[in-house]
Amino acid sequence: MPSPIEFYFDFASPYGYLAATQIDALAARHGRTVAWKPVLLGPILKHTGGQPNRAIPLRGPYMEADAPRFAAYLGVPFTAPAQWPIAALAPSRAVWWLADREPGKAHDLAAALYDAHWGRGEDIAAPEAVTRIAAGLGLPEAETAAAIQAPEVKDRLRAETEAAMAKGVFGSPFFRLDGEGFWGADRLDHLAWRLKAGAS
Amino acid sequence: MPSPIEFYFDFASPYGYLAATQIDALAARHGRTVAWKPVLLGPILKHTGGQPNRAIPLRGPYMEADAPRFAAYLGVPFTAPAQWPIAALAPSRAVWWLADREPGKAHDLAAALYDAHWGRGEDIAAPEAVTRIAAGLGLPEAETAAAIQAPEVKDRLRAETEAAMAKGVFGSPFFRLDGEGFWGADRLDHLAWRLKAGAS
């Protein structure tokens, strides 16, 4: 049984969203599964000395044109939210809360959150937005709300972000295939090429 | 007559080299020509507050693995030079010196310099390296050497870098197609997609 492809992303990242629309099908074509791992780019950028893309002169405006163009290239929905980048604490914690107890639902929640934020332009930073979207997957709102504030869930997100950095993750999306890193939605083709070569 | 695709690059950039191996054929498939425009990322990074990729924690080591992998993906030669990133003053000036008087030779020199630096891993920072490579294209060494030190050629490179920034160029490679920007060797597919859509 080959190990899952690790898919690291920040909900605030439009390129993470674009990758999220592709990675499951790509992996399935090569007999792989995907482990979805939300992380926070904030602490990671502190370590690398980077800035959020949107705050960088020239690059910010470019990204605002490039991300929707990339979505059109892939043929997936894209709506820029009114506010971005968000601090994605609540959505990321909700996913990690479910990761061990209901992995399938953790995946579906992550996909639903991404779709709401970048597919339809909804704000998903507030706990209320996350509990509402989780409710659509049958998760009681009070339980999700409590989980988002639980110290062990907060710790888990922090630990997962640290662990990602320790493995070389410095951006979103970032993939690890049997230990090899691939950064960016624009490396999906390279990932597929590596999977193909590895299978032959 | 459609306008040429503007191709901005720094000789120090491995991704600029990868793009250089592809862009002429890509443009030709869509009835376009390419204007090769060497610039210096140094002043541009000063403006955007960025760092050379290789100096960035986590990202530097990633790039050292990603650039040769990208070359293998494209099926083009790649040899990491002993020293990089270089300060690409001499090679960039030599290209701008020829740009108006012998545009075809300016293109061929740029391609030869890139191929020497990233295809074969040669150092091209020194004026002597540039004059030697230019001599291979029939350019007298003394003329090239003088041009590299000519104040008007130095000014030209500075002015072209400024002009690029004014048009939104912030990285290497960067393409402009009828005013629309595409950043990165990984945007060649998007550029081809746009050219195809524009032609229909």
For residue A134, the domain's CATH number is: 3.40.30.10
ipTM of the complex: 0.94
Q: Are strands B34-38 and B5-9 parallel, antiparallel or unpaired?
A: parallel
Q: How far is B83 from chain A (nearest CA, A)?
A: 22
pLDDT in tens, B61-113: 999 999 999 999 999 999 999 999 999 999 999 999 999 999 999 999 999 99
C-beta atoms of A168 and B49 within 8 A:
no
Q: What is the model's pLDDT at position B200?
A: 42
**CB-based contact (8 Å) between B52 and chain A?**
no
Distance separating alpha carbons of residues A31 and A196, to the nearest angstrom? 11
What is the rounded average pLDDT of the residues A102-120? 98
CA distances from A131 to A90, A128, A143 (A): 9, 5, 9
Percent of chain A with pLDDT over 90: 89
- The two structure tokens encoding residue B112: 């030869």
Backbone angle region of B178, left / alpha / beta, with phi > 0 → left and psi within -120 to 50 → alpha: left
**Mutate which of B39, B41, B53, B58 to disrupt the A interface (most A C-beta within 10 Å)?**
B58
Q: How far is A19 from chain B (nearest CA, A)?
A: 14
Q: Is pLDDT at A200 greater than 70 in this prediction? A: no
| Chain B residue numbers touching A171 (CB-CB < 8 A) | 59
Domain membership of residue A106 as a residue range: 5-199
What is the rounded average pLDDT of the residues B157-172? 97
Distance separating alpha carbons of residues B9 and A3, to the nearest angstrom? 39
A57, A165, A183: residue with CB nearest B62 = A183
What is the rounded average pLDDT of the residues A87-104? 97
- Whether residue B52 contacts residue B88, with contact meaning beta carbons closer than 8 Å, is answered with no
Q: What is the model's pLDDT at position A116?
A: 98
Distance separating alpha carbons of residues A47 and B58, to the nearest angstrom? 9
Chain B neighbours among A 70-99 (CB < 8 Å)? 70, 73
**CB-based contact (8 Å) between A68 and chain B?**
no
Which of B135, B91, B93 has its CA nearest to residue B114? B91
- The two structure tokens encoding residue A18: 């674009």
C-beta atoms of B49 and A57 within 8 A:
yes
- Whether residue B15 contacts residue B174, with contact meaning beta carbons closer than 8 Å, is answered with no
Q: How far is it between the farthest Cα atoms of chain A? A: 49
Task: Estimate to the nearest angstrom the gap between the alpha carbon of A175 and the chain centroid.
Answer: 11
Distance separating alpha carbons of residues B31 and B159, to the nearest angstrom? 29
pLDDT band at B47 (very low <50, low <70, confident <90, very high): confident
| Chain B residue numbers touching A59 (CB-CB < 8 A) | 48, 170-171, 183
Distance separating alpha carbons of residues B153 and B14, to the nearest angstrom? 24
Query: For chain A, where are the alpha helices, taking DSSP H only?
Result: 14-20, 23-29, 41-48, 59-74, 89-99, 103-114, 127-135, 141-149, 151-166, 188-199
Distance separating alpha carbons of residues B134 and B141, to the nearest angstrom? 7
**CB-based contact (8 Å) between B186 and chain A?**
yes
B49, B50, B62: residue with CB nearest A168 = B62
| Chain B residue numbers touching A187 (CB-CB < 8 A) | 66, 186
What does pLDDT average to over chain A?
96
Beta bridge partners of A7: A36, A175
Q: What is the model's pLDDT at position A37?
A: 98
- Whether residue B175 contacts residue B7, with contact meaning beta carbons closer than 8 Å, is answered with yes
pLDDT band at A54 (very low <50, low <70, confident <90, very high): confident
Domain total for chain A? 1
C-beta atoms of A56 and B49 within 8 A:
yes
**CB-based contact (8 Å) between B155 and chain A?**
no
Distance separating alpha carbons of residues A113 and A125, to the nearest angstrom? 10
Q: What is the model's pLDDT at position A84?
A: 93
Q: How far is A95 from chain B (nearest CA, A)?
A: 26
**Mutate which of A39, A44, A58 to disrupt the B interface (most B C-beta within 10 Å)?**
A58
Chain A to chain B, count of Cβ pairs less than 8 Å apart? 75
- The two structure tokens encoding residue A64: 């605002």
| Chain B residue numbers touching A51 (CB-CB < 8 A) | 49
What is the rounded average pLDDT of the residues A24-48? 95
A48, A73, A169: residue with CB nearest B56 = A48
Q: What is the model's pLDDT at position A48?
A: 87
Distance separating alpha carbons of residues B149 and B152, to the nearest angstrom? 9
